[in-house]
Structure 1
Amino acid sequence: MSLEFHQIDAFTQQPFAGNPAIVYRLDSWLPEARMQAIAAEHNLAETAFVLKEGAVWHIRWFTPTCEVPLCGHATLASAFALFELHGESSARLDFICQSGALSVSRDGDRLVLDFPSLPGQAITASEAIKAALNVPVVEVLDTGKELLVVVESEQQVRDCQPNFAAVAKLPWLGMIVTALGQQHDFVSRYFAPAIGIDEDPVTGSIHCSLIPYWAERLGKQEFTAFQCSARGGELFCRLEGERVKIAGHAVLVASGRLHL
């Protein structure tokens, strides 16, 4: 048995930037343990598996160590694969996942994710949070699954060197660090060692919380954002009520077959 896969860099127009994801289009679901083993073999932040039932696509995402409930860049990569490599002709793809209904639409040369808005609640910055981050903290929010930490400047976001062992012990999937941007409305980085990702290059799903936060703080609904990891990636964001729109580009970098 062999399966076709594609490796796609999301939230970039250049190969070897943005966030890479592996995409498999399946005819039937594989056992969960097999999908997890495949993700571990690829050893990227996310491997996506998509399967069509009727008019709706079902999508699941796996890190090298676990399945996650929501992933932006691998959804963008999956839509790119379906549109550009598998001949999907519709202007919009509808997905079902653990977090509910999602969609991806074409907007010129960009693809636009339609995700839920997940605003956070302000909490006190504990000593454990401060020790894990090693950067002075302005504000901390609990988004439910993620910890969102606001710092004073873009340079502090770029210079941040968290204690990964301490971050992994916190009771969240990962830690988002953000500040006002210099050339973009805001910047961020994302650390998730507890799920096998010390730092994710570009993370669409964290913008479900970043967008409502910065909308309230800046008093506007539309933004440009940059995730300033080593690879880096640009996102075009908009708040629409209880939904967020997250747009970006993608590029194919490799295709192949996995032999089972």
Structure 2
Amino acid sequence: MQLDYHQVDAFSDRPFAGNPAIVYRLDQWLDDALMQKIAGEHNLAETAFVVKQPEYWHIRWFTPATEVPLCGHATLATAYVLFNIYAEPGDVIEFHSLSGPLRVSRVGRRLELDFPAQSIEPDEPLLPAVAAALGVTIEALFVGPELLAVVADEATVRRCEPDLTALAKLPGMGVIITAPGLQHDFVSRYFAPSIGIDEDPVTGAIHCSLIPYWAQRLAKDEMRAFQASARGGALHCRLDGKRVRIAGDAVLVAKATLLLGDV
């Protein structure tokens, strides 16, 4: 069996920045265990698989360790591949996923994700454990799909060197650290060692929680965000009722064929 794949750096307009994702456009689904092994072989934060249905594309995402319910950068990368490599018609692609329907639209040179907003709730009891694992002072802690730690400033976000073993023992898929930005409305980083990602370079999905939080705090619906990992990536964010819009650039950096022999 041979399978073509493409590697795209999402939330970047140049190679070797943003967040890399592998994209497979399949004619039919592979066995779940095989898709997990393929994701482990690539060993990037996310590998996306899509299969065409009559009215939409069905998308699934795998880290090197597990399947996840939502991924922004790999969805952006998949839309880039479908539009630019496979000449998908129109300006909107509808995906169906474990998190329900998702859309990606062409907006100028960028691609814009239409994702569900995610609510978060304060969680004071966990704050000392999270602060200790991150090694920084936390002003507030919220819980949703991930833990969201708010700190004083961008410098604190950038200098954070967490205890990954301690983070992996915390509840939720991972821990977000965020603060007001110097040149952006807000900045963040994301650590998810429990699902095989020590630090994700740029994470669209965490902005489903970050955008509602910062929209309320800053009293504005449109914001510019930056994920301050070593690679880094810019996100153009908008709160739209119970949805969030997350726009960014993408660039193709590789294409190849996976050789699976008699698998």
Q: CA RMSD in A?
A: 0.6
Looking at structure 2, the residues matched to 130 and 33 of structure 1 have their Cα atoms a distance apart, in angstroms, of 36
The aligned residue for residue 249 of structure 1 is 249
CA offsets 1:188-229 (integer angstroms, 9 cap, x no match): 000000000000000000000000000110001000000000
Partner of 1:180: 180
Q: Does 1:131 align with 2:135?
A: no
Alignment of 1:35-114 (within 5 A): 35-114=35-114
Query: 2:226 aligned with 1:206, yes or no?
Result: no
8 Å CA contact 2:127, 2:140 repeated in 1: no
CA distance in 2 between partners of 1:45 and 1:192 (Å): 10
- Counterpart of 1:162 in 2: which secondary structure? coil
Amino acid of the residue matched to residue 29 of structure 1?
Answer: W
Give the aligned partner of residue 8 of structure 2: 8
**CA positional deviation for 1:128:** 1.6
SS in 2 for 1:182: coil
Q: d(CA) in 2 for partners of 1:131 and 1:177?
A: 13
Identity across the alignment (%): 62
Give the C-alpha shift of residue 133 in structure 1.
Answer: 1.0
TM-fit CA distance, 1:123 = 1.1
* Range 41-50 or range 120-129, more displaced: 120-129
CA contact (8 A) 2:36 2:62 kept: yes
User: Residues 137-148 of structure 1 correspond to what in structure 2 (within 5 A)?
Assistant: 137-143=138-144, 145-148=145-148
Please give the secondary structure, in 2, of the residue aligned with 1:82: helix
Hey, what's the Cα distance between the residues in 2 that align with 1:152 and 1:206?
19
Report the TM-score when normalising by structure 1. Answer: 0.99
Residues 3 and 24, structure 2, Cα contact 8 Å, conserved in 1? yes
Matched, 1:189 2:197: no
- How does the TM-score come out when normalised to structure 2? 0.98
Whole-angstrom distance in 1 between the partners of 2:33 and 2:61 = 13
Residues in 2 aligned to 1:56 and 1:126: alpha-carbon distance in whole angstroms: 42
The count of corresponding residues between Structure 1 and Structure 2 is: 259
Contact 2:127 2:141 in 1 (8 A): no
List runs of 5+ in structure 2 lacking aligned partners: none
Equivalent pair of 2:23/2:81 in contact (CA under 8 Å): yes
Which string of whole-angstrom CA distances, capped at 9 and with x for unpartnered residues, describes residues 107-150 of structure 1?
A: 0100000000002111104322121111000110001x200000
Show the counterpart of 1:158.
158
Helix, strand or coil for the counterpart of 1:112?
strand
SS in structure 2 at match of 1:58: strand
Q: Output the amino acid matched with 1:128.
A: A
2:19 paired residue number: 19
Q: Distance in 1 between matches of 2:17 and 2:71?
A: 18
How far apart are residue 64 of structure 1 and its match? 0.3
**Runs of 4+ off more than 6 Å:** none
- Report the secondary structure of 1:173's partner residue: coil
Q: 2:200 corresponds to which letter in structure 1?
A: D
Q: Whole-Å Cα distance in 1 between the matches of residues 171 and 154 of structure 2? A: 26
- The alignment partner of 1:245 has SS state of strand
Distance 1:25 1:109 in 2: 23
Aligned to 1:30: 30
Code of the residue aligned with 2:209 in structure 1: it is: S
SS state at 1:36 partner: helix
